[in-house]
Amino acid sequence: MPTIFTHVAVPVAAALALGSRRVPPSMLLVGALAAIAPDFDGIPYQFGSAGSGIWAHRGITHTALFALLMGLFGLWLARWWKVPRLAGFAWVFFCTLSHPLLDMMTSGGSGIALLWPLSSERFFSPWRPIAVSPIAADRFFSQRGVQVLVSELYNVWFPLLTLGLSIFALRHTRKS
């Protein structure tokens, strides 16, 4: 899995591309939280407990169904953000869904149960350039953790920020 720092790259890049009128700061914050929410299933690991099957890491919280349910918060928050309800739903849904899609691009783990409950199959992307992050905090703050962060900068942050800033520049070039 990418680190929680890198899961927020998708909402950050999308907010850059769309601009602060379309994605106000509070909407970006909720998008960032939605992008890391699927990893809350890793909390039991920190206490020596691990689930199994769909309740294990990369299980139920890494599904399209979970992203759809999270999207309902966007419907509720849309009025506060002063955006259309569909835009609020789509924002939270896609920010949440970005999490398992990034996890599918890592070099390790057990795959993603993306289509559960329709299928219990776990998926990986055919392209897996992201080094898998250690879950345990003591292993994260090590040489391995540094290697993972460098991998994420190169394979996630740089491409997404380049895309987000390019779209931002194109939008502003067309306005003038």
| Segment-wise mean pLDDT, segments of 10 residues, the chain, 176 residues | 89 97 96 95 63 71 96 97 97 98 89 93 92 73 85 96 97 80
What is the structure's pLDDT at 158?
98
Is 17 contained in some domain? yes
Q: State how many domains the chain has.
A: 1
Is 41 contained in some domain? yes
| C-beta of residue 3 within 8 angstroms of C-beta of residue 149 | yes
SS3 154: helix
**Domain interval for residue 33:** 4-165
Is 171 contained in some domain? no
Is 172 contained in some domain? no
Residue 91, both tokens: 């924002």
Q: Which of 91, 63, 67, 97 is nearest to 77 (CA)?
A: 91
Is 173 contained in some domain? no
What is the structure's pLDDT at 43?
61
164 Cβ contact list (under 8 Å, min separation 6) = 12, 13, 14, 15, 16, 17
Is 104 contained in some domain? yes
Is 55 contained in some domain? yes
Is 40 contained in some domain? yes
